[in-house]
């Protein structure tokens, strides 16, 4: 499939992890993933460190990257002040996030959706002052842990809101991993129809085992980028019932980007094993489980001695 990949291990993947990675290891991981061929990375968050302590060193990670790497990374932000602080540290890719549902937005950000929308023009202006780019990131695009199914009219109203003008992409988020391929196709296609000038990123979780299928439906409907995390790490601290992101290993094994060969896949599997082990979290990648099977006649299986 013709699609690019964004690894979100260092933000969404780590925000619920029991242990953090050293800053130096995060910087090295950025370079390793870029060298493999992964096109984009989400490397941190401006969330309050007392609420999400694994994100406390986000700006230190940014400081350790060179200018070329900074052009390909994204930072989670939720307020104009977040954007201003990140911009001063050299960030140029800002993911401005809020939820389609008021209940989740209040739990996650501390305000209702309307307040986040009202502040978005100031966030875009702050990014523009440094030549930055802003993504419109719509969390709970499908379901909310407190309100249930999010009406598609609610999702469309955000897409149509003139205060989102100036964004470069829309990130359609299945925050809880409760969407099905048909609904993913429907809402991504709607985003493509309503905002044809924007790129579309699909951010999925694998709670109900449909992560790869949903990503495929998103690409079929017009998504340009899909998100994944090594080993299926991740989850939202304010979204009870959600499990990890769709595993990056599973996505690339299913879609076979041009940069993926057996060697690159093995490296990716090893990175996922290392990172999940380091933060003491389970590795949920199904492709990794297959790669470590006894079916050694299959070229994608990693030899037992390796």
Name the strand (E) or helix (H) holding 93.
strand 93-99
Three-state SS for 73? Answer: strand
Q: Determine the Cα–Cα distance for residues 219 and 19; give it in Å rounded to an integer.
A: 33
Write down the domain spans for the chain: 4-291
Residue 53's CB is within 10 A of a number of other CB atoms, namely: 14
- By DSSP bridging, strand 143-144 and strand 148-149 are antiparallel
Homologous superfamily of domain range 4-291: Aldolase class I (3.20.20.70)
Q: What is the pTM of this model?
A: 0.96
Catalytic residue among 97, 137, 144, 236: 236
At residue 95's C-alpha, the angle toward residues 58 and 236, to 5°, is 70
Q: Which of 155, 264, 174, 260 is nearest to 215 (CA)?
A: 174
pLDDT value, residue 27: 98
Q: Does pLDDT of 203 surpass 90?
A: yes
Q: Does pLDDT of 86 surpass 90?
A: yes
Q: What is the DSSP letter of 302?
A: P
* Per-residue model confidence as pLDDT tens digits over 151-192: 999 999 999 999 999 999 999 999 999 999 999 999 999 999
144 is catalytic: no
Q: Does pLDDT of 306 surpass 70?
A: no
């Amino acid at each position: 499939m013709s699609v690019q990949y964004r690894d979100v291990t260092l933000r969404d993947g780590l925000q619920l992890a029991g242990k953090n990675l050293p800053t130096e290891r995060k910087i090295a991981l950025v370079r390793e993933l870029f060298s493999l061929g992964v096109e984009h990375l989400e490397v941190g968050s401006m969330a309050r460190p007392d609420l999400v302590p694994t994100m406390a060193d986000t700006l230190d990670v940014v400081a350790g990257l060179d200018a070329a790497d900074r052009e390909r990374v994204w930072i989670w932000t939720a307020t104009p002040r977040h954007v201003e602080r990140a911009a001063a540290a050299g960030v140029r890719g800002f993911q401005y996030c809020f939820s389609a549902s008021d209940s989740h937005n209040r739990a996650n950000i501390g305000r209702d959706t309307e307040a986040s929308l009202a502040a978005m023009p100031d966030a875009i202006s702050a990014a523009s002052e440094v030549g930055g780019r802003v993504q419109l990131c719509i969390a709970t695009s499908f379901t909310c842990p407190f309100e249930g199914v999010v009406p598609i009219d609610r999702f469309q109203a955000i897409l149509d809101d003139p205060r989102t003008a100036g964004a470069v992409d829309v990130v359609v988020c299945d925050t809880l991993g409760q969407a099905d391929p048909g609904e993913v196709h429907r809402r991504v296609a709607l985003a493509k129809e309503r905002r044809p000038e924007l790129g579309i990123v699909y951010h999925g979780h694998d709670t109900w085992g449909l992560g790869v299928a949903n990503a495929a439906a998103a690409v079929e409907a017009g998504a340009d980028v899909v998100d994944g995390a090594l080993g299926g790490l991740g989850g939202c601290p304010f979204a009870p019932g959600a499990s990890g992101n769709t595993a990056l290993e599973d996505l690339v094994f299913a879609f076979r980007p041009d940069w993926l060969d057996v060697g690159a896949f093995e490296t990716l599997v090893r990175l996922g094993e290392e990172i999940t082990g380091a933060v003491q979290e389970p590795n949920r990648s199904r492709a990794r489980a297959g790669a470590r099977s006894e079916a050694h006649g299959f070229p994608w299986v990693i030899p037992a001695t390796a």
